[in-house]
A and B are shown apart, each in its own frame.
Chain A
Amino acid sequence: MQKLPLSLARPGMILAKPVSRADGIAVAAQGTELSQGLLDRFDSMGVDAVVVEGNPVNLEGAAGDISYEKRAERLDHLFRKHAGDAWMGQIKKLLYDYFKLKAAGMAAVKAAAAPPREG
């Protein structure tokens, strides 16, 4: 799941969260596939960001960009000072398993979704 500014959203992406106008009224449901028409409508309603399935855009380093695969990979680095500590080893393993499971879940969702259309 990734939050994108409207300018980076493209037709074919799937909404992972409903989209609401500033006044709170929902205008598109979770699971909706984006189309150019829908994106134009969001734009005219003042919607500035959408949350979509997967990680379709590389927003390297941006806050809120959560790629589970990357989180799992980073654990070795983040826990480098606790190498050899049994307790922190347990915590690291819990986190690693958690992120790996999440990553697998995402991959399954991606595989199940229809391939993105051209254009």
Chain B
Amino acid sequence: MAEDLRTERKGLILAVKDLPTLPKVLDEVARLVERSDSSTEEVAKLISMDQVLSAKVLKMVNSPIYGFPGRISSIQHALVLLGFNVLRGIIVSTSVFEIMSENMVGLWEHSLGVALASSTVARAAGLRDPEEYSVAGLLHDLGKVVATVQLPELKGEIEQAVKTKDLMYIEAEKEVLGFGHDRINAWLADHWKLPPNIKEGLSYHHKPHLAQLYPDMACAVHIGDFMARVFEYGFGGDDNATYLRPEALKRLKLKPADVERILDHLCEQFLEIADLSFS
């Protein structure tokens, strides 16, 4: 594909005026967080002013994905327990998925499944702050959503290629767009100023062995994606098990017994999140 066409498409995807806008409150919150003299109380108060947004955030943090079902009753409590990065990720995901049409419900379910599976993997590997892995899982296919919104006419072409040539979605993206959603994820992460560990999870979940800065994050989301696909929880765009990188299991020191524990947990929990909608 000609280089200029590729550049043009990157431009189209990142055309800021059409990108899903994040709630204004997020900018103000980000400014507040950067100041050293701000308190969680002030930050919580600011988020709570947007009632619709805080209701969505609370619904999400109280889902089994984050492991505190039904126990977080306020934004402030959520901030203390989960930290600002996680809250920020949840706000980004609800804002982006809100614009999705009905026919992308499968991708939302897949994202929820990967969120649950990624944090389950992180817990099994004994990693700190498993909630951050949930958020990276939740956002790992953001690029697919945004590409669909910005280049709707090419989405049909990608789906057609998946079907007729039996490609994986990312292979079809590379054929049609010239790049995959992992690249789009990296651009979006910069654009929306996501934290670097989350960015690494988003942009390296297909090639965790190449992640340099936060390989644990990339590996956990990689394995999470694989698990959600094996259970066929939701629909990520194609029905394939991804190639499970042995390096990822090795890096997180997961043995077959750990994998079985992860599977056990997922069997239980996939049921629980089945009625979590994004609206």
Interface residues, chain A, with chain B CB atoms under 8 Å away: 1-3, 24, 49, 51, 62-66, 68, 71, 74-75, 77-82, 85, 87-88, 91-92, 94-95, 98, 102
Contact = CB atoms under 8 A, between A and B. Distances in A.
Given A63-B234, A66-B231, A78 B239 contact: yes
Interface string B156-199: 00000000000010000000000000000000000000000000
26 contacts: A1-B267, A3-B271, A24-B70, A51-B271, A63-B109, A63-B113, A63-B233, A64-B272, A64-B274, A64-B275, A66-B231, A66-B267, A66-B271, A71-B232, A75-B230, A77-B239, A78-B229, A78-B232, A78-B241, A80-B240, A81-B240, A87-B244, A88-B241, A91-B244, A98-B263, A102-B267
B271 A98 contact: no
Interface in B236-279: 239-241, 243-244, 246, 256, 259-260, 263, 267-268, 270-275
From DSSP, what is the main secondary structure of chain A's interface residues? helix
Given A78-B232, A91-B244, 17 more contacts: A1-B267, A62-B274, A64-B233, A64-B271, A64-B272, A66-B270, A66-B271, A68-B267, A71-B232, A81-B240, A87-B246, A88-B241, A92-B241, A94-B256, A94-B260, A95-B230, A98-B263
B243 to A, nearest CB: 6
B273 A64 contact: yes
Nearest to B109: A63
Contacts of B241: 75, 78-79, 82, 88, 92
B243 A88 contact: yes
Contacts of A2: 271
A62 B231 CA distance: 12
Contacts of A82: 241, 243
Contacts of B239: 77-78
B135 to A, nearest CB: 20
Contacts of B246: 87
